[in-house]
Structure formats: structure tokens, C-alpha cells
Amino acid sequence: MPVTVEDVRRLALTLPRTTEHLIRDRVKFRVKQIVYVSFSRDETLMGFAFPREQRAALVESEPDKFQLPSAGDMRYQWVVARMEALDLDEMTELVTDAWTMVVPKYVAREYFDGLP
């Protein structure tokens, strides 16, 4: 069963310092002013923070699941996933990894140290 925005919301709002915003009819999750997950208006695509130097390999490894961001977003550390192709475990890993890119290292460390 593919993941939904609600699935992502349940996870993202448990991550310290995350806030949710609706900007130009698009749901976005961010830490302060830095967006780490964003959805297309129709909620079929999820953009997320991802290391720029690794994104080509990710897209090439599963082109039916991942795509490069729009030309205007290529300057950012960003990749896009098709929501219908993600399962809950993979979404959890992608969103959590994206979050760790935008929070201070000590915040991520404290969060992971507190997990069972």
C-alpha cells in the first residue's frame, strides 16, 4: 500500500523542531526556514533533502521511483519520489535522513539516542 501525506505527517511531526506549512497549496515540512520534505499540489510526488553528489546514483538505481528535481531546484540538495512507489519503511528512512540534513548534529544525535 503506497504511503500518503498523512503517513509522512505522522512521522515528520515527531521529529524535533519540525513544523508543517501550507505554501502555495503545497504541504511542506521544515526546520526553521529550511524545507526538508515537500509535496506536489496533487500529493503524488514527494521532494526531499538528499545529498547532491548521490542523487544521480539514486535516480539511476530506481528511475520508476525517483526523479531529479525540476531545473530550478537542481541547485538544491533535493530528489523527488513518486508516492505510489514508496512503502512505509522506505518513506521513514528517506524523511528521517532528510531531516538529519537540516537539524544541528546534536539534535539528531539526541533524537536517535532516545529511540528504543
Span 9-55, pLDDT tens digits: 999 999 999 999 999 999 999 999 999 999 999 999 999 999 999 99
Per-residue confidence (pLDDT) for residue 114, from 0 to 100: 84
Give the mean pLDDT of 105-114: 92
Single-letter residue type at 74: M
Percent of the chain whose predicted confidence (pLDDT) is above 70: 99
Question: Cell 519520489 belongs to which residue?
Answer: 81
Q: Count CB atoms within 10 A of the CB of residue 66.
A: 21
